[in-house]
Structure 1
Amino acid sequence: MSGWRERAVDRGYQAGWAVVRRAPAGLARKVFDTAGTVAGKRHGGPTQLRKNLARILYTTPAAVPDELMAQAMRSYARYWREAFRLPSTDPAQIVAAVRISDDDAALVDRSVASGRGVIFALPHSGNWDTCGVWLVNRHGRFTTVAERLNPESLFDRFIEFREGLGFEVFPLTGGEQPPFQLLAERLRAGGTVCLLGDRDLSRHGVPVTFFGEPTRMPAGPAKLAIETGAVLVAAHHSYPDAHTSQIVMTEIEVDGVEATTQRLADAFAATIAAAPADWHMLQPLWEADWSAERRERLA
């Protein structure tokens, strides 16, 4: 990305944070809902999102309901609206709007209290920052990893934003140490780690079957759990209505990288199927959709 484009992107995000977080809540919601609806209906909505939703529904892309496409893009727009407004939103307000069953909350409490360390693996669903705010409010600081963004100034802004929420963030690449060992240190000390776990961006992903088709998912959550003895939990966030959000927790049995990652994929599939519109996967995920370049890189 050229210098002027990097500056333009950074300034665009900076303006978004400044404008959206100062706008009246009702106005911001209306603007983002409208934008999401338009994006979901215009020319049938994003082609790759339609393909991905077709897998969840076990149907063809053409058979995916147009209203589901519009709902999915409204959900994605809501994520960005909340992200822009999060720095000025009272964390207590966010926590008060979260719905979680007593059993799932007890699973979190029990896992943290065990002293073994806890890994929460999440799909790209709902707003994972909301899960983080809820977790910080309940159990304090946790550690996560962030993929580097261009421009670097935008990446720094995202890091500052999340650290301001109480997250400890390590860069995926370019840090002083590889993040795996740093995360392992936190877990061995009884800490908590949160990782996005449904899309592999490396050459070391684990083959899994997901909604009946082959893909790969990150090995990190399973490897960390095996190496450190930490508890592994699949966490899912969704939007049951316009004013609340929901967190669902599923403990994952750990007994080998491949088997554990498949169990994680199965847990993701169950919760994503229950709230398909809130899974914000607009990129190719399944092997059938991979580009020739990616196939060659993973060969």
Structure 2
Amino acid sequence: MSFTQRLSDLAYATGWRAVRGLPAPVVAALFRGAADLSARRNGPSTQQMRRNYARVVPKAGPAELDELVRAGLRSYARFWQETFRLPGMDHRKIYEKVDEVFVGRPLIEAALDRGKGLVLALPHTGNFDVSGIWLVDQFGPFTTVNERLKPESLYRRFVDYRQSLGFEIVPSEGGAYRLLIERLRANKIVCLVADRDLSRRGIPVTFFGEGTRMPAGPARLAAATGAQLLIVENTFTDDGWGVRVHTPILVHGREDVGVATQRMADGFAADIANNPADWHMMQKLWLADLDEERQKALQESR
């Protein structure tokens, strides 16, 4: 384990131990202050967030982008604040608060009534763990994929965290696709974060007018099983959360995977445009932001 990995593991362990025990107003002030400090420092990740937002709000001037980045960093800080506190919060109260505003439950029920499972696809917006708490309460445990983080102890912390919320977690490597197929054929729900995949396996899409790639997984799973694909929008409100399920997509075979993935990207774009500050994308997403060597490698893989 490298020093950086050890430090990262320690930071997350401290977060889950210490943040949970502090008064909520103190935690909120600390995380908000950290977000504002990141905005002032304007490091590489913050600069990338600004470039990403410039695509979402192309008519925004410098001052508007400054404010959007500040709001985005505060939203991202709130996500981590809630992540560290969720294990100790009252999940029933969270469910009830989300249930008051949840939009799209009939679409979930209709998809499951077909008996072929359901794929929920979502971008990095709001707090998807909170919407997962609602989903578990209403429809039982669902299955999702966690990136195989390093060191292994850090990966286990995230697995333990999400399992404590009632989710079934499978690693991104080692037969995940096969297990997800099994869950769908048993008429279960699979949830996948799916707004970034700059690998050779990603599906080319147009996103806010520019080219990028998104994971093939949601559409491929739907094509292989007959499951319906739905998009989930997660947002923050001043005192809670917003969750909306929409855009039913049926994928008619592997030849339809590309078209379905583009429809998924269009659905993500519409949601992000409505609430750009709640989209926590601080990595390079569009192909134009990659270096020439990486762009060439992706072009050769098509």
TM-score above 0.5: yes
Matching of residue 206 in structure 1 with residue 200 in structure 2: no
Aligned to 2:278: 278
Aligned to 2:93: 93
Assess, with a 3 A threshold, how the Cα gap between structure 1 residues 50 and 64 changes in structure 2: closer, same or farther.
farther
Q: Which runs of 5+ in 1 are unaligned?
A: none
| Aligned-partner Cα distance in 1 for 2:25–2:66 | 25
Deviates more, 1:52-61 or 1:139-148: 52-61
| 1:149-194 per-position Cα deviation (integer Å, ceiling 9, x unaligned) | 1111000111111111111111112x3xx21111001001101100
Assess, with a 3 A threshold, how the Cα gap between structure 1 residues 91 and 30 changes in structure 2: closer, same or farther.
same
| Aligned-partner Cα distance in 2 for 1:224–1:123 | 17
Deviates more, 1:22-31 or 1:46-55: 22-31
Aligned to 1:26: 25
| 1:57-82 per-position Cα deviation (integer Å, ceiling 9, x unaligned) | 12478464321111100000000000
Aligned to 1:165: 165
Aligned to 1:67: 67
Matching of residue 190 in structure 1 with residue 224 in structure 2: no
Q: Which runs of 5+ in 2 are unaligned?
A: none
Give the CA deviation at 1:103. 5.4
Assess, with a 3 A threshold, how the Cα gap between structure 1 residues 61 and 167 changes in structure 2: closer, same or farther.
farther
Give the CA deviation at 1:254. 2.5
1:99-248 correspondence to structure 2 within 5 Å: 104-173=104-173, 175=174, 178-241=175-238, 243-248=239-244
Give the CA deviation at 1:36. 1.3
SS at match of 1:233: strand
TM-score of the two chains, using structure 2 as the length reference: 0.92
Supply the AA of the counterpart residue of 1:282.
M
Give the CA deviation at 1:297. 3.6
| Aligned-partner Cα distance in 2 for 1:265–1:217 | 8
Whether the aligned pair in 2 keeps the contact of 1:205 and 1:219 (CA below 8 Å) is yes
Assess, with a 3 A threshold, how the Cα gap between structure 1 residues 195 and 100 changes in structure 2: closer, same or farther.
farther
1:244-259 correspondence to structure 2 within 5 Å: 244-250=240-246, 251-255=248-252, 256-259=256-259
TM-score of the two chains, using structure 1 as the length reference: 0.93
Aligned to 2:47: 47
Matching of residue 58 in structure 1 with residue 55 in structure 2: no
Deviates more, 1:94-103 or 1:153-162: 94-103
SS at match of 2:143: strand
Aligned to 2:13: 14
Whether the aligned pair in 2 keeps the contact of 1:68 and 1:277 (CA below 8 Å) is yes
Assess, with a 3 A threshold, how the Cα gap between structure 1 residues 52 and 84 changes in structure 2: closer, same or farther.
same
| Aligned-partner Cα distance in 2 for 1:283–1:68 | 16
| 1:217-274 per-position Cα deviation (integer Å, ceiling 9, x unaligned) | 0000000001100010001101132x11101111224231011000000100111111
Moved over 6 A (4+): none
When the two chains are superposed, the root-mean-square deviation of aligned CA atoms in Å is: 1.9
Supply the AA of the counterpart residue of 2:32.
D
| 1:191-227 per-position Cα deviation (integer Å, ceiling 9, x unaligned) | 1100011001531111111111111100000000011
SS at match of 1:97: helix
Whether the aligned pair in 2 keeps the contact of 1:222 and 1:257 (CA below 8 Å) is yes
| 1:62-115 per-position Cα deviation (integer Å, ceiling 9, x unaligned) | 464321111100000000000001111111122233266675122122223332
Give the CA deviation at 1:24. 0.7
Give the CA deviation at 1:295. 2.2
Supply the AA of the counterpart residue of 1:18.
R
Percent of aligned pairs with the same residue? 47
Supply the AA of the counterpart residue of 1:223.
R
Whether the aligned pair in 2 keeps the contact of 1:100 and 1:248 (CA below 8 Å) is no
SS at match of 1:194: strand
Give the CA deviation at 1:9. 1.7
Assess, with a 3 A threshold, how the Cα gap between structure 1 residues 234 and 212 changes in structure 2: closer, same or farther.
same
Give the CA deviation at 1:296. 4.1
SS at match of 2:237: coil
SS at match of 1:65: helix
Aligned to 2:82: 82
Supply the AA of the counterpart residue of 1:288.
A
